[in-house]
Amino acid sequence: MPRMRRFSSGTVRSKKSASGSQVATIDEECDLVRDTLANVLRTIGSFALPTKHYDGSTFKATMDRLAREVLLKPGSPDRDNNTDRVHKEIRNTVREQRREESREYSQYKEMTTQLLASLVSELKKAFAQAEVEGQHIVTDLTEIEDLTYREEWETLKAKVPETVSGIKEVIARQREDGRTRIQQLSMQLREMREELQEAKSKMERDSLTGLFNRGAMDRTLKLAVKYAHSSGNDLAVFMLDLDHFKRINDTYGHQAGDEVLRSVATVLIKTFMRKNDFVARYGGEEFLVICKDMEESDAPRIGERARQSIEKLKVVFDDATIPVTASIGYAVLRPGETAEELIERVDRALYQAKAGGRNRVVGAE
């Protein structure tokens, strides 16, 4: 162990070791701890699930703010010396978010399990009367029932289509004997599908704008890139950032800012209205649009049309008319490029649009 000595400032420093390497000071170790905690907070904020009570972008903004406060060193003029307050807010905010995520996940899981168990129970009653002809269906349904309660979802996904195919064959052969019961089962199946689809849709949508959320966007972009490479079709991606959005919130209030976000979302849906266009809220005041089968020559024109439509937008809130503009970056997929690399190029183009004066459209190099 190297010998330590205390300076008059109170900072413990180390001497060089025999090999000449410098042992980290307490200050450096504290900086490392602060950096690590700040990165953990930002990561938690980036991957938080939206819940009924916590909007994903709002929680991310809170985590970013807490990360900045953690990084401020003691004695900094901008630092709130009440460290206990910051740590308490971190504990309470993260605990409450995780509690909400766990509660909603448990509710969706319980609903799915109950629906599947109810459906399987009714199906087993029906096919138990089919004697030999329906016994293999009863066996499959019993397996599905076990998989449901064991929560083996991947195995269940493979087993259900196989069982459904067998059910159709038995139903076709016994249609006359079981017409009434089969109609009731079909109705239950449709209701279950609708409820599950509704639950899935809620998990993929941004609660404020109604657009697709970041998670849905990530999945769609990876599939779109894979399809574009295999088919040889073009793929364009646009990233939009509302100019001076913080100023809007500070001047008119956060409710006005929410109204601006909803209005811009409506404009984007009207601008990118093709069947192959996918519009998502990327986070905060940023939006991202995935355009399949869009040639590179068309991208600047479509981007400029979106910019002009936003610029013409006049959001009225509490008798105040709020002007809105947006900076837009875009890129067209290159051969062999990954989804992550494409997003990086789009992001750089957006940065150039903002650095060049905002309210403009810039294509990636």
Q: What CATH number should be reported for the domain holding residue 303?
A: 3.30.70.270
Q: Is the pLDDT of residue 53 over 70?
A: no
Catalytic residue IDs: 285
Please report, for residues 119, 250, 337, the alpha-carbon distance to residue 170 in angstroms, rounded to integers and kept in the order given.
Answer: 17, 65, 49
Using 50, 70 and 90 to split pLDDT, how confident is the model at 239?
very high
**Structural domain boundaries, residue 142:** 107-204
Question: Euclidean distance between the first and final Cα of the chain, in Å?
Answer: 54
197 and 283 inside one domain: no
Of 85, 108, 102, nearest to 48 by C-alpha is 102
195 and 224 inside one domain: no
- Alpha-helical regions (H) of 131-213: 131-150, 153-173, 179-204
Using 50, 70 and 90 to split pLDDT, how confident is the model at 20?
very low
- pLDDT score recorded for residue 126: 67
Q: Pick from 204, 234, 251: which residue ends a domain?
A: 204
Strands (E), the chain: 4-6, 12-14, 235-242, 277-283, 286-292, 314-317, 320-323, 326-332, 361-363
Q: Pick from 81, 97, 127: which residue ends a domain?
A: 81
- pLDDT score recorded for residue 75: 54
Residue 86 lies in a domain: no
Q: Check: CB of residue 350 under 8 Å from CB of residue 343.
A: no
Q: Pick from 176, 204, 232: which residue ends a domain?
A: 204
- 338 residue type, one letter: T
pLDDT in tens, 149-170: 776 767 877 777 877 777 777 6
Residue 257 lies in a domain: yes
> For residues 87 and 66, what is the distance between their CA atoms, to the nearest angstrom?
9
The stretch 117-128 carries a mean pLDDT of: 71
181 and 266 inside one domain: no
